[in-house]
Amino acid sequence: MHRLLVQPTDVVVPPFPMAPIVFVTRPLPEPGSGLLHDLGFEVRSNVEDRPLTRAELMAGVEGSDALLCMLSDRIDAEFLDANPSLRVIANYAVGFDNIDVAAARARGIEVTTTPGVLTDATADLAWALLLAAARNLGAGERMVRAGEWTGWAPTQLLGEPLRDRTLGIVGMGSIGQAVARRAQGFGMHVVYFNRNRVSPQIEASLGADYVTFDELLRRSDFLSLHAPLNGESRHMFDSRAFALMKSTAVLVNTGRGALIDEAELVNVLHEKRIAAAGLDVYEFEPTITEGLLELENVVLAPHLGSASTLARGDMVRLCCENIVEVLAGRPAVTPAPG
């Protein structure tokens, strides 16, 4: 895993002639934006725990050297043109579909993300959703809370077993691999689809077989999505894909909502053309697609993939480290791919 270099006590702050300005778009967990202050930056922050409007974002960032932003902040060419002082944009996420990276780099602005530090947290959450969806935990919890549980029953909320079943992983980057590693403990077979096949060593260590997307859809009992969202992957789960899946399949998404055509997912879950889904991310986040909330066979989480104290703290450190490096004229530690 990536070693975090920036610690409040041992960092050597570059000799900036004047404190560079960093704009932070949302309150951060420990060590918080105070770390940037300790590193010698002038920190300007949104102190309200809500996403900024476009106008607020534009006004807040004006004159800044660096931006530490969230996945809910849209950074496009218009934004970049309005902010020529920016030299680095540190996205507080591993996904970066909210940023036009090519447009930023064309203007000499580096874009960085937070890979590595949230891998385990996100893989754990994918498994939490997989287990919850497979074993009807959402429906069960609702029943108990509603006072409708009358006691143990042989036929109650029967779910899908995991052992000897096939887990299909879409996107075999570090999070996909961490999900595959955990599957070994459940005695599952793993197949995966990725733009590029991973090395034979990694395949062997994970016991994972590379298959085409269609084969993965046909063979998988459980599917977990970890592909980045881009023009190619948007709506890769559409009516064609759902038609190839097993009627007993369980679909888990901790990647990005728009990997799935959510309106179609609602139909498919409603008609039991797949068994269940576990979602952490949504196509129109935070708006939930009509029909999803009424379904019993879907478990819904509020984008918690990286939400562990360790991961979220390390994401702060990694963003700060990237800002230090770029403003000091050195290469970013974790530049956005592409």
Tokens 């300007």 belong to which residue?
44
Query: Could you write out the DSSP letters of every residue in 196-265?
Result: SPPPHHHHHHHTEEE--HHHHHHH-SEEEE-PPPSTTTTT-BSHHHHHHS-TT-EEEE-S-GGGB-HHHH
Q: Which residue is catalytic, options 44, 165, 219, 256? A: 256
Among 21, 39, 94, 332, binds ligand DGY (CB under 6 A): 94
Q: Say if CB 206 and CB 223 are below 8 A apart.
A: no
* CB 304 to ligand DGY: min, Å: 9
Strands 208-210 and 222-225, how do they pair? unpaired
Q: Cβ closer to ligand DGY: 52 or 175?
A: 175
* CB 316 to ligand DGY: min, Å: 12
The three-class DSSP label of residue 22 is strand
* CB 129 to ligand DGY: min, Å: 14
Amino acid identity, position 59: A
Q: Is 256 a residue of the active site?
A: yes
Q: Say if CB 225 and CB 252 are below 8 A apart.
A: yes
**Given the rule CB under 6 A, which of 92-100, 101-109, 268-276, 290-298 is the region that contacts ligand DGY?**
92-100
Q: Which residue is catalytic, options 42, 56, 215, 285? A: 285
Among 173, 176, 257, 305, binds ligand DGY (CB under 6 A): 305
Q: Is 37 a residue of the active site?
A: no
Q: Cβ closer to ligand DGY: 30 or 271?
A: 30
Among 67, 69, 118, 183, binds ligand DGY (CB under 6 A): 118
d(CA 9, CA 315): 18
Among 289, 306, 322, 334, binds ligand DGY (CB under 6 A): 306
* CB 311 to ligand DGY: min, Å: 8
Question: Would you state the torsion angle of the CA atoms of residues 292, 298, 301, 304, taken in this order, to the nearest 10 degrees?
Answer: -120
Which sequence positions are flagged as catalytic? 256, 285, 303
Interface contacts to ligand DGY, rule CB under 6 A: 71, 93-95, 118, 305-306
